A and B are shown apart, each in its own frame.
Chain A
Amino acid sequence: MAIDAPIDVAIVATSQTPSYRHFDDTEVALIMDCVNDVITQVGMDRHDIDFTIAGSCDYLSGMPFAFVQNIDAVGAWPPVYENHVEMDAAWALNEAWIRLQHGDIKTVLVSGSGKSSPGRPREVFHLQTDPYYSAPLGLDSVSAAGIQARALIDSGKASEEDFAKVVSRSRRDALHNPNAQVAADKTVDELLAEPYFSEPLRRHDLPPISDGAAAMIISTADVANDLCDSPVWIRGIDHRMESHFLGLRDLTDSPSTRIAAENLGIHDSPIDVAELCVNYSPEEVILQNALGLPEGCLVNPSGGPLAGHPVMATGLVRVIEAAKRIAAGHAQRGLAHASSGACLQQNLLCVLEGGDV
């Protein structure tokens, strides 16, 4: 079953900053570059954009209301119709796509941004855990990923070598991605020779700490061809949540991804490219199993989050990377994935297609 959306919607412009280990200017500066870029691409005046929606997270900046400053990058004078989700911008894209189904507006600007470098992500993301039972135990995001990796190994579904294969391929592919932060040509054996960071994870099984932003303009079908040469169609977006409590989940599987994949009908025809939010290398094994991607489907040709992880934009960047390959004619049907929470707790899928509406 595929989602039957009444109005066809296309991605007509995308932009992303490089992933920086530390960007020395503000988050606003990061976003502004992307916003100016997409507006220039479509040749619109920013005041003609009908709706704007952003994704970011106060806690990364360590400042309540940090997101308020980000509207400086979008422009809000005269006043704009606007919204903000305290999540990865893939969820902003989700609301944008839903909003266009009403038929009364035509264009939406979506942006996402995050600077992880000012804080210590391992400690910051720990604050996502429930404050009564989990947080006092101090289970940080790296340790949670380690538990998931251990569960995969113990179940026989994957080995440390499988994790290294994911890293080797991702970081080698990233050599061709000018926005990547970490890229290297390393064999599986070389990677396995490195010491543990949080056993069974090695440092390269973790994403880098990144600052970055991304933006996108999507439009209804009637104006898409006027705004760009090769619109990429959003065929559907679905996202699903799993329990917060790791003990209530099978950490070696991703049932939420399966539900979303089913609803989007991803198996109705072949997927050529999949950009997956693989924050930790073992997650790719789980997602691959849950998605059942066909042989020959390219996975994370950009290098994925293991090569650059601008938190709160990482998911939107997956959509951008898949869309770019489709727009360039390298793929016809693509899948983008975003996740939130520890151990792939929440997952979003977006199906994209090139060609005519």
Chain B
Amino acid sequence: MAVPCAVVGLGQTKYSRRRDDVSLDGLVREAALRALEDAGADFSHLDAIVIGKAPDALEGVMMPELSLCDALGAIGKPIYRVHTAGSVGASTAVSAATLVESGLFNTVLTVGYEKQAEGNATWTLSGGRSGGQGAGGTFAPWMRSYIQQSGAPDYIGWMVAVKDRLNALKNPYAHLQIDDISIEKVKDSAMLWEPIRFLESCPSSDGAAAMVLTNEEGARKSARPAAWVISHAKRTEFSQFPGRDPVRPQAGVECSKALYKKAGITNPRKQIDAAELYVPFSWYEPMWLEGHDIAEIGEGWKMTDEGATEIGGDFPVNPSGGVLSSNPIGASGMIRCLEAANQVRGTAGEYQVEGAKTAVGHAYGGAAQYFAMWLVASEMNPDFS
């Protein structure tokens, strides 16, 4: 039987276009120290460190655990590095939880980061080819397909873009702080990849996120409330093959199914209080609501339209501002998992969802083919009946 795992420390850097005030080492250490401080711990309490980031080519540093270990207090300790494309931040959190759950490690630090200003993100995301289409170019046809299949009105994308940026105004760590964000402003911004306009797209950010995970005994000693990892799941499918549904990929469907089943969730919309979903382009909010069985097929956009996904709605999505407001790729999935924990701990400040007891953190990557999710709760044994 797996040992219960608790999240007791959360640490984030300020996300911004360029963090040239810190080195890579300084960036990850900033997040790590904040997580440790939040947990009331220091490096000596750690039994292992798990780091994650997207391709090494984003910064040009190969296998960076080798050069970041000193800054992460990992000397003499186990440290390893996960890489599962854009889903990596959530995959890394899942791996770290796996260590605690095995019973072999008491307390684990996990860190996700990206310092995209060190390199050329679009070049990297195009697989190292110049003049590539970037991530938006990959996903745009699938968003168009979604719009066509669901009959969603075009303003849904704008609504998501505005909602997430309004949420970001409440989050001091968020990269984009657009005071005068409005539907008009989004609608009038430049078209990048039809149907995605400039303000419907994520920024390119520098930043790091870190969490301290521990077992029951560690959670008891922690001064701050714990978020309990109730379940986690991962699924992967091929990039392309005839018959694949890239709009609602089967790997995503099965990932959430496994997640809910293990947690005992039978009605996600009702039983989950908040979700931090990986939404790098506005249309992915309704797409993942359907792709993870939170809404019926063709109905996801209606949740956005009705305001259900706003803070104060019945299913708030990305109260932190989400990937649309901060996107250091290798950290973005971890930020989703971290912000889910933040909500159920009741420590999310101005963007706290009132009474949130259960939340989901989610990330996807590659050609929408890698999925990693975790479900956290304020109770170690939540009752969803």
Binding site for B on A (CB under 8 A): 3, 5-6, 57-59, 62-65, 67-69, 71-72, 76-87, 91, 94-95, 98-99, 101-104, 124-125, 127-132, 134, 238-245, 248, 255-256, 259, 340-342, 345-346
Contact = CB atoms under 8 A, between A and B. Distances in A.
A103 to B, nearest CB: 6
A87 B237 contact: no
A340 B63 contact: yes
B76 A244 contact: no
B379 interface: no
A114 to B, nearest CB: 12
B145 interface: no
Interface string B94-105: 110011011110
A62 B95 contact: no
Contacts of B103: 6, 101
B2 A65 contact: no
Contacts of B79: 241, 346
A64 B83 contact: no
A31 to B, nearest CB: 14
Interface of B: 1-2, 23-25, 55-63, 65-70, 74-85, 91, 94-95, 98-99, 101-104, 118, 124-125, 127-128, 233-239, 241, 249-251, 254-255, 258, 366-367, 369
Given A68-B366, A76-B237, A86-B63, A99 B98 contact: yes
Nearest to B82: A85
A5 to B, nearest CB: 7
A79 B67 contact: no
Contacts of A71: 236, 238
A210 to B, nearest CB: 18
Given A68-B85, A244-B70, A99 B56 contact: no
B76 A256 contact: yes
B254 A64 contact: no
A130 B26 CA distance: 13
Contact of B62 (A69, A128, A248): A128
A85 B102 contact: no
B23 A84 contact: no
Given A71-B236, A127-B56, A245-B70, 9 more contacts: A57-B62, A62-B128, A80-B237, A86-B56, A87-B80, A94-B80, A243-B70, A341-B63, A345-B66
Nearest to A245: B70
A126 B84 CA distance: 24
B237 A127 contact: no
A256 B75 CA distance: 8
A340 B76 contact: no
Nearest to B250: A79
A49 B70 CA distance: 37
A243 B82 contact: no
B85 A242 contact: no
A6 B302 CA distance: 48
Contact of A102 (B60, B69, B101): B101
Nearest to B75: A243
Given A102-B2, A345-B66, A241 B78 contact: yes
12 contacts: A59-B63, A77-B237, A79-B236, A79-B251, A84-B84, A85-B83, A101-B103, A103-B2, A127-B61, A131-B61, A132-B23, A244-B69
Contacts of A340: 63, 66
B102 A102 contact: yes
B67 A129 contact: yes
A127 to B, nearest CB: 4
Contacts of B55: 58, 64-65
Given A71-B236, A102-B98, A102-B102, A238 B78 contact: yes
Contacts of A125: 62
B95 A77 contact: no
